[in-house]
Amino acid sequence: MSSTRIRELIVTPIAFGDPPLLNSNGVHEPLALRVILQLVLEDGTVGLGESPGGTARLERLHAAAKVVVGMDVFDTTALAAAIDAALLPTVPSSHERGWTTSAIEVACLDAQGKLLDRPVSDLLGGTVRDAVPFAAYLFYKWAEHPALDGRPAITDDWGEALDPAGIVEQARLMQERYGFRSFKLKGGVFPPDEEIAAIRALAEAFPGQPLRLDPNTAWTVETSKYVARELDGVLEYLEDPAKGIEGMAEVAKDSPMPLATNMCVIAWEHLKPAVEQNAIQVLLTDHHYWGGLRRTRELAAVCEAFGLALSMHSNSHLGISLAAMTHVGAAIPNLDHSCDTHYPWNSADDVIVPGVLELRDGEIKVPTGPGLGVELDHDQLDRLHRRYVESGMRSRDDTGYMRRFQPEYERLLPRW
């Protein structure tokens, strides 16, 4: 079995282009950070993984790289336990430790699939669908990253979206380019009545197509209840209107539509209180911190047991993450809503060889090649790593970046 042992974990931080997308914390910076993993086995097989970036997560991946050497790539339970134990003294949050173990589990599954010549979805029990549906992820946005410190303005081909008409236009572009059939609006940016108007405009422009709104806890419980009443019959679900399990439970008591979260239930220990308080009706999973793809599959079974609907949210990401999302999305029977993805905002800088992952008709076909089915573009990896080094950017700071242009801006959660 020596060929299935791990020789090395190569950890490469990268930076790639991101448009000026607005959210309740401020605005996305011109670069987003991720970390690319190459898990090299003794026989030379390489498993790929992708994790969110930032100094803390990068350091933990480097720490994990020391732990995994010599372990068997099929022993993912022992690998997760060993990494978790190594991080525990300095990282008390199980959610935070989950980011590290998850990224490595995906790389292990990619390597396993390559060894067995089977796609990762087969290692998850096989597919229940050939293609995974995704929602268009709409953002209020500026037309460009304004010129700053001698750097010229950075434009893009999406244009500005700061009002209902701009959001509808962005949705039309998303539909035209990728065929999306459901839409998520990132809210918490403008006063709630303006965001309600944007959702109503979307409902009028795309009749019968599922809509959701996610203000990332920018609202009080009272405001959340008001928005929920106003959008009764218009939203399939309302995502993270208020903060915490208690706040969401209060909103849920009066909400005519289901509430979803990727913020108040983010670790296994949050499930019991959330279910007891009926705080959420839809869990938005994310394999990047729930423990990886197999744990996401298990999470789906827990949701089934407690009558929670299940879907998936995203962060700025590239194709290794998208491939992993697609494999697990295809293997989960109770995927009740389309997943969301940032991919259209970031795909131009992707680190994988193009051709496998194509967003068409709002879906991605499950890759059928061995492992995740995607191949790393090594030249692009080098370019994106150089960008990371040269940029000096080491963590995401939407609020700080917003203050460069609006010095009086304050991060207020809740704001309304």
- The set of catalytic residues is 186, 313
Interacting residues with ligand GKR between 224 and 253 (CB under 6 A)? none
Task: Establish if 170 lies at the interface with ligand GKR (CB under 6 A).
Answer: no
Q: What is the DSSP letter of 146?
A: P
- Does residue 363 belong to the site contacting ligand GKR (CB under 6 A)? no
Task: Give, for 38, the enclosing helix (H) or strand (E).
Answer: strand 31-41
- The count of chain residues that interact with ligand GKR, using the rule CB under 6 A, is 10
**Nearest distance from C-beta of residue 316 to ligand GKR, angstroms:** 6
Q: Which one of the spans 43-51, 157-165, 256-264, 381-389 is the region binding Mg ion (CB under 5 A)?
A: 256-264
341 interface partner picked from Mg ion, ligand GKR, none, CB below 5 to 8 A per type: none
- Nearer to ligand GKR by C-beta: 74 or 343? 343
CA–CA dist 304, 172 (Å, integer):
34
Query: Binders of Mg ion: how many residues, by CB under 5 A?
Result: 4
Q: Which of 23, 51, 101, 326 binds ligand GKR (CB under 6 A)?
A: 23
Min. distance of Cβ 315 from ligand GKR in angstroms? 5
Is 311 in contact with 300 (CB distance < 8 Å)? no
Cα 42 to Cα 111, 175, 187, 372: the distances in Å are 11, 45, 48, 20
Report d(CA 14, CA 388) in Å as an integer: 5
Partner from ligand GKR, Mg ion, none contacting 220, C-beta within 5 to 8 A by type: none
Rg (alpha carbons) of the chain, rounded to whole number = 21
Can residue 34 be called a binding residue for ligand GKR (CB under 6 A)?
A: no
Give the shortest CB-77-to-ligand GKR separation in angstroms.
28
Please say whether the beta carbons of 58 and 103 come within 8 A.
no
From Mg ion, ligand GKR, none, interface partner of 315 (C-beta below 5 to 8 A by class)? ligand GKR
Choosing from 100, 112, 255, 262, the residue that interacts with Mg ion (CB under 5 A) is 262
Q: What spatial distance separates the first Cα and last Cα of the chain, rounded to whole Å?
A: 59
Q: Are 49 and 103 in contact (CB under 8 A)?
A: yes
Question: Residues with Cβ < 8 Å from 224, sequence gap 6 or more?
Answer: 238, 241, 242, 247, 251, 255
23 binds, among ligand GKR, Mg ion, none (CB under 5 to 8 A by kind): ligand GKR
Q: What are phi and psi of 264, to 5 degrees?
A: -100, -10
Q: Which of residues 259-318 bind ligand GKR (CB under 6 A)?
A: 262, 313-316
Among positions 312-331, residues that touch Mg ion (CB under 5 A) are 313
**Residues within window 3-22 making contact with ligand GKR, judged by CB under 6 A:** 21
DSSP state of 352: B
Q: Between the CA atoms of 171, 172, 176 and 181, what dihedral angle is there, to the nearest 10 degrees?
A: 50
Do residues 169 and 159 make contact, with C-beta atoms less than 8 angstroms apart? yes
119 vs 192 by CB, closer to Mg ion? 192
Choose among 132, 53, 63: nearest CA to 312: 132
User: 12 is in the binding site of which of Mg ion, ligand GKR, none (Cβ under 5 to 8 A by kind)?
Assistant: none
Binding site for Mg ion (CB under 5 A): 214, 239, 262, 313
Sites of contact with ligand GKR (CB under 6 A): 21, 23, 186, 214, 216, 262, 313-316
